Amino acid sequence: MNRKHFLDSILTLGTVPALRFAEGIAEEPTRVTTPKYLKSGDVIGITAPAGYINHNEIQPSILQMESWGFKTKIGLTIGKKDFTFGGTDLERANDFQQMLDDPSIDAIMCARGGYGMVRIIDRLNFNRFAQKPKWIIGFSDLTVLHSHLNRNYGIASIHSKMCNSFPDDWSKAEIIQVETINSIRQALSGETMKYMLDANQSNILGKAEGVLVGGNLKTLETLSGTKSDLNTAGKILFVEDTGEYLYSIDRMFWNMERSGKLAKLKALIVGGFKVKMDSEGEDFGRTVYDIVLEKVKKYDYPVCFDFPVGHQKNNFALKCGVKHRLEVKEDSVILREVSDVR
Amino acid sequence: MVKLPPYLDRGDTIGIVCPAGYMAFEKAERCIQILQSWGFKVKIGNTLGGNSTNYFSGTDEERLADFQGMLDDEEVKAILCARGGYGIGRIIDQIRFKKFRKHPKWIIGYSDVTVLHAHIYSNYRISSLHAPMAAAFNDGENEYVQSIKLALTGSLARYETRPHHFNKIGKAKGELIGGNLALLAHLSGTSSDFKTKNRILFIEDIGEYLYNIDRMLYQLKRNGKFNKLAGLIIGGFSDGKDTERPFGITTDEIIQDVISDFEFPVAFGFPVSHERENYALKIGVKYTLDIDSETVTLKEH
């Protein structure tokens, strides 16, 4: 059997255990489908597949994206509210499906995270999207989409801030806010992304090249074993989280390790982790650095900490599913997109 | 068929360890007294009331050594985990079950101990006991604490509970598997993950956000855990939390919603929980779950 066809056929099974699947794909040249980059006049659809958001809250993002030369199309879920959700499951799924299938929409920005993507992911039909992919933008709960697209379709997507993080007044915004929001435009317009940051003394030095995948750690854990489960073999994994206890972060990294996601990485990028304080007398006694390092000490790939991705101001756009090169050096860290695979 | 460890007789020894969170010795004193009053000897592991100053009852190495020691000690016929918390997942892959597989013994506990139950049942097909731990004995010898003794000495359990208006009437027979929802979800995709086909699954949890309960149930659902399930038992979900923007429905409604496509019988409000109501349940053992409009019966075979 032709190897490529064999891989295609196991891809469609969906229930193949992650490890077996991972071993198969690790030897393959990276298959990446990059959606068409946006140009002036292209349309960005805005939808709320998870938490609810109203029209006022997305106004700053609309103005900004229009100032970049894009048009916007507001989905029916904006302003919809079903308790915590941006509409019922059916409404959110329909809105998202419509954006996926509408040929006049060139990219889809999720207005905000929260919770809810996993409730509708299996209702979505990606057939048309897979034929003609478009950029899907978001993070946090939308890690479900990044992971699902990477695992099932090998289609790239953008992990970045969403509509709810655009500053109300661009002229008064902090520089970091401006830079992070601008990074969405850069990513969408096809600029080759490059990030430089200071070294962290806990970093493990080295260089690696691989497809970048990742997102919110808790969300990745809750995808474990499902058909949206991330395959990390041969890839650069980034993770971030917020509002979790240290013990819970530890448990999530154990899930990564015990489900085989750390063993065959090319590199690990640890973003922001906003930790919930331990209760008195329940001191966990380990930092996030300790938690990560004890899991990866038996491997020999580079690891960098405090990468500017997460539930924080310095959350830069990252292209999931696109090949990157990470250099963790003594004095600095550089992550750059490898553009020759396009 | 699952392998049953030998039941206990008077004079047999129960080892007590803390494989996860820290517990002061005083908090387990009542438990020790009651176990002794039942005619058992008690062997105290180093991790109960040790000199740890942080969250854990000892370092990974200390907790592993204590548990491994009890597992391999021929004199010890059952191991009671004094408390849960968090920590078994950190040492589970280092525990050697070689001797235990030849000479199984009852492992007792719940919450974080769900990791042990699922791991042992999935990998070795040996039964273990999902049951109250040391702190429960401080409330005295109620029927839930008593159920540990009955289970360990070989009585076949027959638990009856009140009906619940969300129950799905029906009858199911199958091996029992389950425990703490957060841990069951967390084990997905690992070597401790469990199968649910033709089995009766029970779940309980404490202190979780409603959206997170929903998300974990979706994980189980998307992992196919409900597809061929024989029956489902919903235990306590105490101290549930909600976000600033309310989730809008209760835990029971969340569960009802997630499993609405399935036919299997479901019992809500079963006494398995982080509260006083927590009957001993034998993992891997065949039970009949009988749910009618008047009563719910869970009967061991």
* pLDDT tens readout for residues A288-335: 999 999 999 999 999 999 999 999 999 999 999 999 999 999 999 999
Q: How many residues does chain A have?
A: 342
- Containing H/E element for B44? strand B41-44
A309 neighbors A272 (Cβ within 8 angstroms) = yes
Q: Give the Å distances, CA to CA, from A20 to A15, A222, B72, B189.
A: 11, 20, 34, 12
Beta carbons of A52 and B245 less than 8 Å apart: yes
pLDDT of residue A340: 59
Beta carbons of A119 and B214 less than 8 Å apart: yes
Q: Which candidate in B91, B183, B197, B211 is best for mutational testing of the A interface (most A CBs within 10 A)?
A: B211
How far is Cα B175 from Cα B289, in angstroms, rounded to an integer? 11
Q: Which candidate in A81, A223, A244, A287 is best for mutational testing of the B interface (most B CBs within 10 A)?
A: A223
What strand order describes the sheet that includes A323-328? A194-198, A332-337, A323-328, A206-216, A236-245, A267-276, A303-304
Residue A19 has pLDDT above 90, yes or no: no
Cβ burial of B44 (10 Å; 0-12, 13-18, 19+) is: middle
Residue A27 has pLDDT above 80, yes or no: no
Residues A213-230 have pLDDT tens digits of 999 999 999 999 999 999
Residues A54-86 have pLDDT tens digits of 999 999 999 999 999 999 999 999 999 999 999
For residue B54, the chain A residues in CB contact (below 8 A) are 283-285
pLDDT of residue A339: 76
Q: Which active-site residues of B does the annotation give? A: 111, 204, 274
Containing structural domain, residue B208: 158-300
From B55, B93, B191, residue closest to A247, measured CB to CB:
B55
Q: Give the Å distances, CA to CA, from B71 to B67, B103, B205.
A: 6, 9, 27
Residue B216: closest C-alpha in chain A: A222
How large is the greatest C-alpha to C-alpha distance in chain A, in angstroms?
Answer: 61
- % pLDDT > 90, chain A: 87
From A114, A247, A255, residue closest to B86, measured CB to CB:
A247
A154 vs A7: which has the higher pLDDT: A154
pLDDT of residue A22: 37
pLDDT of residue A28: 31
B200 neighbors B172 (Cβ within 8 angstroms) = yes
Q: Which candidate in B61, B183, B218 is best for mutational testing of the A interface (most A CBs within 10 A)?
A: B218
CATH classification at residue B108: 3.40.50.10740
Last residue of a domain, which of B133, B152, B171?
B152
Containing structural domain, residue A105: 43-188
Last residue of a domain, which of B136, B152, B168?
B152
pLDDT of residue B50: 85
Beta carbons of B248 and A227 less than 8 Å apart: no
Residues A170-207 have pLDDT tens digits of 999 999 999 999 999 999 999 999 999 999 999 999 99
- % pLDDT > 90, chain B: 98
For residue A308, is it within any domain?
yes
Q: Give the Å distances, CA to CA, from A288 to A237, A280, A330, B20, B64.
A: 16, 19, 20, 19, 23
For residue A224, is it within any domain?
yes
Residues A245-273 have pLDDT tens digits of 999 999 999 999 999 999 999 999 999 99
pLDDT of residue B245: 87
For residue A228, the chain B residues in CB contact (below 8 A) are 222
Are A200 and A336 in the same domain?
A: yes
Nearest CA among B273, B70, B290, B103 for reference residue B179: B273
Residue A3 has pLDDT above 60, yes or no: no
Last residue of a domain, which of B126, B152, B178?
B152
From B191, B246, B247, residue closest to A258, measured CB to CB:
B191
pLDDT of residue A236: 98
pLDDT of residue A29: 35
For residue B8, is it within any domain?
no
For residue A122, the chain B residues in CB contact (below 8 A) are 222
pLDDT of residue A6: 39
Residues A300-313 have pLDDT tens digits of 999 999 999 999 99
Residue A259: closest C-alpha in chain B: B190
Are B133 and B209 in the same domain?
A: no
Beta carbons of B248 and A84 less than 8 Å apart: yes
Q: Give the Å distances, CA to CA, from B205 to B16, B138, B183, B208, B278.
A: 24, 21, 9, 7, 12
Q: What is the mean pLDDT of chain B?
A: 97
The answer to pTM > 0.90 is: yes
CATH classification at residue A217: 3.50.30.60
pLDDT of residue A278: 87
pLDDT tier for residue A16 given thresholds of 50, 70 and 90: very low
Are B272 and B205 in the same domain?
A: yes
Task: Judge whether B249 is closer than 8 Å to chain A, CB to CB.
Answer: yes
pLDDT tier for residue A30 given thresholds of 50, 70 and 90: low
For residue A237, is it within any domain?
yes
Question: pLDDT below 70 — which residues of chain B?
Answer: none
Are A261 and A157 in the same domain?
A: no
Chain A nearest C-alpha distance from B85 (Å) = 9
Cβ burial of B209 (10 Å; 0-12, 13-18, 19+) is: middle
For residue B4, is it within any domain?
no
Number of separate domains in chain A:
2
| C-alpha torsion angle, residues B229, B234, B238, B242 (rounded to 10) | 60
CATH classification at residue B192: 3.50.30.60
Conformational region of residue B248, where left means phi above 0, alpha means psi within -120 to 50, and beta covers everything else: left
* Eight-state DSSP code of residue A288: H
Last residue of a domain, which of A188, A223, A242?
A188
